[in-house]
Structure 1
Amino acid sequence: MLSRKKWLAGGLVSALALIGLVALPADAATSVRLQYKTSASGVTADQVEPWFNLINNGTTAIPLSGLKIRYYFKADSASQQYRFACSWAVVSCSTVTGTFGAISPGTATADRYLEVGFTSGTLATGAQSGDMQLRFYRADWQRITQSDDYSFGTNTSYIDWTKVTVYQNGTLLWGTAPTGGNPSPSPSPSPSPSPSGPPPGGSGVVFDDFNYTDANDSTISAHNWTIRTNQGGPGIPGATWPQGNISFPVVSGTNKALQLKSVTDGTSAGTQQSEVLHQRKFLEGTYAARVKFSDAPISGPDGDHIVQTFFTITPLNQDLDPNYSEQDFEYLPNGGWGEPANIMYATSWETYRNEPWLAVNVHTENRISYDGWHDLVLQVSGGQIKYYIDGALFATHGDIYYPETVQSVNFNLWFISGGLLGSSTPRTYVQQVDWFYHSKNEVVAPTEVLNRVNSYRSASTRWVDTVPSV
């Protein structure tokens, strides 16, 4: 009864406050304030760039996971799709999410909204979130007209901005939404999660123990692998990609491994690189390989900037192709790209342009040696890309970097252009791959990957491929 009386009293006070008969104490008023500015203030822009700062004016801390920020805009066409990205945030872009919703019926200035959320964090009493440097752009990378957008402002310094709303657990705390339209419910992150509860092995499995005779073994292509022989990037312009640089040596007992060899004498004509790739039919699920990286060449002087890899990729058909994607494990034993020494990269790509260079990617790195054998696991599911090395989580990426189209699986060993030693003495580098495993539409823990691989080997199963071609 007491709690009911308190509720009635509180409701009465709130009602009286609304008609101006009772003044609410400051801490009972709206506890969140939003500030906005933009770094792209033109009538049109390559990207809409709303930057936000949240301020807690209340007397209690606020879990960020309960807050949603909505920025309202008018789509350039009914069918136009948009992509979200977080460039930088004090609270960390890894905790910031962005999804798009529709308003129906739309208004003259708003038929869509960007909803920004948070996976973790707390906004303490009197605290500010600090900069959230956000952006979104058309999926076809054409310019956006933003001058007719409800939430757009031209201010380049932070000011209180009520044309962007803030909700806490569905309750409006700040701002004024556009009138005349009905926003749809909060959207789910895109892409949606993979189907739940797949059988062991997901929707198909690929396992290869690389038990081949040599590069001319006909079962290599029968098992849907291709040894690259065509010229082109990445790496040294003019370098060749000989089939003979791929071999399958015994690495222990009777166990063989895929071996990639790359050589150089410091010239384009004297540089050979190597690559092996699987057909394009992979998207969501778990990818894994046991890879041996090396810090030094097996012969010749050391020091070339060489890249040792395991990755998935969709081809780039045009500059800033929205269907392009790539997820990389890249080990640079001698550094490169401005790094002076050992570095491991996990990089997730949305797209890129060659001239002038524009990279749309996110990466995580660790500056230590990875010389030797390592178990690499890549999980792609539910809008998140997770990279594991030797069972430990190395990186988590998502948002616009999540792949949308089917990819191939690749291993290559190549030299960074401009990163060769000033020596004419030939040197030879190798990278080895003990096995490859993929389970379609299933998240498989690193320990379980090893259990499954060991089961295949215990049964003397050298190769399995039940993933349908597309």
Structure 2
Amino acid sequence: MPRRFLKVLLALALPVSLGGVALAVPASAAQSVRLQYRTSSTGATTAQAEPWFKLVNTGSAPLPLDQVKIRYYFRGETAYRFACSWAVVGCSTVTGRFAGLPSPVPTADRYLEVGFTSGTLAAGADTGDLQLRFHRADWQNFSQSDDYSFGARTSYADWDKVAVFVDGRLAWGVPAAGGGDPSQSPSPTPSGTPGTSQGTLFDDFSYTGSSDPRLAQRGWTVRSSAGGPGVPGAAWSPSAVTFPSAGGGQVLQLASSTDGTASGTVHAELSTASRKFFEGTYAARVRFSDAPVSGPDGEHVVQTFFTITPLARDLDPDYGELDFEYLPNGGWGEPGSILYTTSWETYRNDPWLAVNTHTEERASFAGWHDLVMQVSGGRIRYYVDGRLFADHGDIYYPETPMWLMFNQWFIDLQGGGAPRTYHQQVDWVYHSKGEVVPPAEVLDRVGAFRAASTSFTDTVPAP
């Protein structure tokens, strides 16, 4: 969750040794595209590799960019992070993922695969600059001079050691040995395509209270431990988590209250006990509220639906967090109602350093909303009521399994006075592991569970 919003792009990286073997381009390959390459990082050892590309359409017909995959081959020793620094076509349309070669060679055991989510390249046109970079997850320097695809070029020229595939077929370049059709090579993580669910969680929160033994049996934890986020010294109380009737059914209700003092402040949280959630689709129907149900208004309260990995140490590269956060009365320097979606790479608490990206909308979101996150293929897409709200990726894509959570808490306190209580409610939660489910399809599936009187199911495997 954001504590301050600083757009920080950390790009540092670690040591690798490399060498190379190549395969000839098949005579049948359709040479309808050409790739030009240069780099802004020419050193033998570097903090980050910086391959820059221009893709040229040499054919006679427009080329849909979502059919194109560009592969840059190298040899590595650890996890890597991809980022798009700038692109004429827009970084929001550029994706990047890393995968291993089925048959490694001395100069390459993996590749960076660059793709596009949208756009069309006209016949005879080029994409203009694609200024890309990648670095080691632990931010150590590494060797690139003997990487298969690396060349110390400072101006654009045709480069056949980077391969281009169009609709799954080699269209340009000489892949490193073992680099074949993208559809044939294994992905390091689930591809996240429709119809490939590897497990489903659904819960409509039909419980008697926070002490209902079925909560623990079904993998939920009601928080009672002290600590952040929020007001130091505030309590996280199980009694603030209830399951009242609403709209003909039951809902999860988080009731956060304060009298303006830390000792009189209560936060509320419900979390999964297992960190088994990674790629796939997350959804919940959430009721945000602008005003307290009792007492004076004006507190900086945060109402949430999110996933998170614990921070093992400052700037932990394995940290991850994907947030919906609604601030009805502002906070973090905002004067009024604002909804944030935030994707985190990592952070340091003291002195504060946030490595995240966020999208926000300044408006009231009071009432019920269908919130959906799709985590797949190096992108995190956030939807609100079926509308694409944000599209994040690059270094902010999660690397490790996460908890799934709902909580409500106060950023700070506005002073003493009469007690005030805010409610956040959740009608249901849904997750499909390894599958991209469109928002409308999520609602159909939830409707089917309810039509079958299924109040809970969890087939998501343990990590």
The TM-score with structure 2 as length reference comes to 0.75
The separation in 1 between residues aligned to 2:72 and 2:436, in whole angstroms, is 34
**What does 1:7-46 correspond to in 2, within 5 Å?**
34=36, 36-38=38-40, 44-46=45-47
1:321-380 Cα offsets, whole Å, 9 max, x none, are 344333222112223334332222233334334345444444333322210011223334
Indicate if the aligned counterparts of 1:347 and 1:361 stay in contact, CA closer than 8 A.
yes
**What does 1:137-176 correspond to in 2, within 5 Å?**
137-146=135-144, 159-160=155-156, 165=162, 167=164, 169=166, 170-172=170-172
Aligned pair 1:327/2:354, yes or no? no
Indicate if the aligned counterparts of 1:99 and 1:190 stay in contact, CA closer than 8 A.
no
Q: Which residue is equivalent to 1:263?
A: 257
Amino acid at match of 2:263: A
* Counterpart among 446, 449, 456 of residue 453 in structure 1: 446
**What does 1:24-103 correspond to in 2, within 5 Å?**
34=36, 36-38=38-40, 44-52=45-53, 64-65=65-66, 71=72, 73=74, 75=76, 77=77, 80-100=78-98
SS of match in other structure, 2:370: strand
Q: Which residue is equivalent to 1:313?
A: 308
The separation in 2 between residues aligned to 1:466 and 1:30, in whole angstroms, is 45
Q: In structure 2, do the counterparts of structure 1 residues 74 and 161 end up closer, same or farther at CA, with 3 Å as the change threshold?
A: farther
**Higher deviation after alignment, 54-63 or 339-348:** 54-63
Displacement of 1:195? 7.8
Displacement of 1:434? 1.7
Displacement of 1:283? 3.2
Displacement of 1:71? 4.8
Amino acid at match of 1:137: H
SS of match in other structure, 1:273: strand
The separation in 2 between residues aligned to 1:58 and 1:223, in whole angstroms, is 56
SS of match in other structure, 2:228: coil
Displacement of 1:248? 2.0
Q: In structure 2, do the counterparts of structure 1 residues 43 and 239 end up closer, same or farther at CA, with 3 Å as the change threshold?
A: farther
The separation in 2 between residues aligned to 1:390 and 1:364, in whole angstroms, is 16
**Structure of higher RCO (CA pairs closer than 8 Å, 6+ residues apart):** 2
Indicate if the aligned counterparts of 1:246 and 1:261 stay in contact, CA closer than 8 A.
yes
Q: In structure 2, do the counterparts of structure 1 residues 89 and 366 end up closer, same or farther at CA, with 3 Å as the change threshold?
A: farther
Indicate if the aligned counterparts of 1:193 and 1:383 stay in contact, CA closer than 8 A.
no
Displacement of 1:243? 1.6
The separation in 1 between residues aligned to 2:449 and 2:124, in whole angstroms, is 58
Q: Which residue is equivalent to 1:348?
A: 343
SS of match in other structure, 1:450: helix
**Higher deviation after alignment, 441-450 or 428-437:** 441-450
1:71-109 Cα offsets, whole Å, 9 max, x none, are 56554x4xx3322122443322232122446595335xx
Q: Which residue is equivalent to 2:16?
A: none
- Structure 2 gaps of 5+ residues are 1-30
SS of match in other structure, 2:297: coil
Indicate if the aligned counterparts of 2:345 and 2:356 stay in contact, CA closer than 8 A.
yes
Amino acid at match of 1:431: Q
1:113-147 Cα offsets, whole Å, 9 max, x none, are 53433343244578664553422111333333446
Q: In structure 2, do the counterparts of structure 1 residues 111 and 218 end up closer, same or farther at CA, with 3 Å as the change threshold?
A: closer
Displacement of 1:228? 0.4
- Structure 1 gaps of 5+ residues are 1-28
RMSD across aligned positions (CA) = 3.9
* Counterpart among 127, 132, 135 of residue 133 in structure 2: 135
* Structure whose alpha-carbon radius of gyration is higher: 1
The TM-score with structure 1 as length reference comes to 0.74
The separation in 1 between residues aligned to 2:376 and 2:112, in whole angstroms, is 22
Q: Which residue is equivalent to 2:420?
A: 427
